[in-house]
Amino acid sequence: MLERLFGLNELGTNPRREILAGVTTFLTMAYIIFVNPQILSGSGMDLGAVFVATCLAAAFGSAFMGLYANYPIALAPGMGLNAYFTFTVVGTLGYTWQVALGAVFISGILFFILSVTPVREYIVDSIPKSLKMAIGAGIGLFLGIIGLQEAGVVVDHPATLVTLGDLTSESVILAAIGLVLMAILDAWKVPGAIIISILTLTAYGLLFGDTQWAGIADTPPSLTTFLEMDIGGALEVGAITIIFTFLFVDFFDNTGTLIGVAHRAGLLTKDGKLPRLRKALIVDSTAAMAGAALGTSTTTSYIESAAGVRAGGRSGLTAVVVATLFLLALFFAPLAGMIPVYATAPALIYVACLMARGMSEFDWEDVTEYVPAVVTAIAMPLTYSIAHGIAFGFITYAVIKIGAGRYKEVKPAIAILAVLFVVKFAFA
């Protein structure tokens, strides 16, 4: 049955290797079970319900990817967009979390339409590589400043906007220890470096009274967020930018992750293309819609899947194993409720470091490429908005290219979006 479903022999793998790869991938991304509820609960959502939605969305997306597209790629609610969901859409713009879920759902529908039409390739080809890399790096910096705030390393200041917090406080010291522990474990190639650090700091909190014991396992909490998305509210004119941001980031993040993991697994064709890309993108878009219906921010492919690939994963069986483990994780809700902020803050900072690697891909020899890229990246944390970073990047790219007499490099899609962003800022 496994051979028929996944073609293990053709891919040069076996069940034992695939199961080991699935466990490895799960350990590297299991931190999302604890971090996502912490972030989204800041929008007013019930932490227990988000925990269940996170596990179910990850299980559905990973199983669908394995069974339908036959790739060793796992899915879960993505880091970055969950922060945008809470701190920008709800916290800054003032929308309800129900409207934010509606925007995620609509972006999933649009993503699905793009996945089954030729428009997909046109959009991918229209956005320059420097801006694609800048968006990922900028999201990383956005997560970084949130993590530093959560840890207490960075605090607000009336004169300088931000300043150094109390470095002698317990939360700062423990967060620093957590970050260092993650990096050391990862340097030694220990699977699950992030989750090990989170659980270690949680154990400290339990021992020294910072956290109250609530048990390890229990029946899953009630899914009170199910079908609570407000699609009507998300269709208001003011929310269009929000939908676009969810769609844009999800689309390119997925495409980059799929190609990157497939490349490491040796699954690309000789001309560098990804077989069954359409199927994989259909999975991603459907998972985004399903996640919103369950009650979580955008569900996306995880670059951590590369850890499973390094462990030998080559088929969809790896992803199915990950899905099974996420379902089992449903019964550990009490543990998720005990995780202190100083345990999850270093995870945000560590993921930020991983995502910031995209800046190495900037074309540092071409000023018309690296200036828009840097503007995109730094605008996200400094304006506390992924959407504003994308807008500033597109506008800067179009203006500099045209001013330098290289207007032919500005694809129509970029020019149109740049003009629309200018209009939006002018009349906002």
How far is it between the farthest Cα atoms of the chain? 66
Q: What pLDDT does 271 receive?
A: 63
pLDDT digits (tens, 9 = 90+) for 205-239: 888 877 777 777 778 889 999 999 999 989 886 78
pLDDT digits (tens, 9 = 90+) for 143-202: 889 889 889 999 988 888 889 999 999 999 999 999 999 999 989 988 788 889 988 998
Q: Tell me if 354 sits within 8 A of 115, measured CB to CB.
A: no
pLDDT, mean of residues 295-321:
86
Determine the Cα–Cα distance for residues 386 and 380; give it in Å rounded to an integer. 5
For 139, the token pair is 């999201």
pLDDT digits (tens, 9 = 90+) for 163-177: 999 999 999 999 999
- Which bin fits 303, alpha (ψ -120 to 50), beta or left (φ > 0)? alpha
Q: Tell me if 86 sits within 8 A of 35, measured CB to CB.
A: no
The pTM (predicted TM-score) of the whole model is: 0.82
- Tell me: pLDDT of 273 over 70: no
Least confident of 53-62, 272-281, 377-386: 272-281
Report percent pLDDT > 70 for the chain.
Answer: 96
CA atoms within 13 A on the CB side of 245: 29
Tell which residue, 162, 109, 213, 185, has the closest CA to residue 384: 162
Distances 61 to 48, 144, 281 between C-alpha atoms, Å: 20, 27, 11
Backbone angles phi, psi at 191, to 5 degrees: -65, 140
Determine the Cα–Cα distance for residues 68 and 109; give it in Å rounded to an integer. 19
Q: Tell me if 179 sits within 8 A of 349, measured CB to CB.
A: yes
Backbone angles phi, psi at 401, to 5 degrees: -60, -45
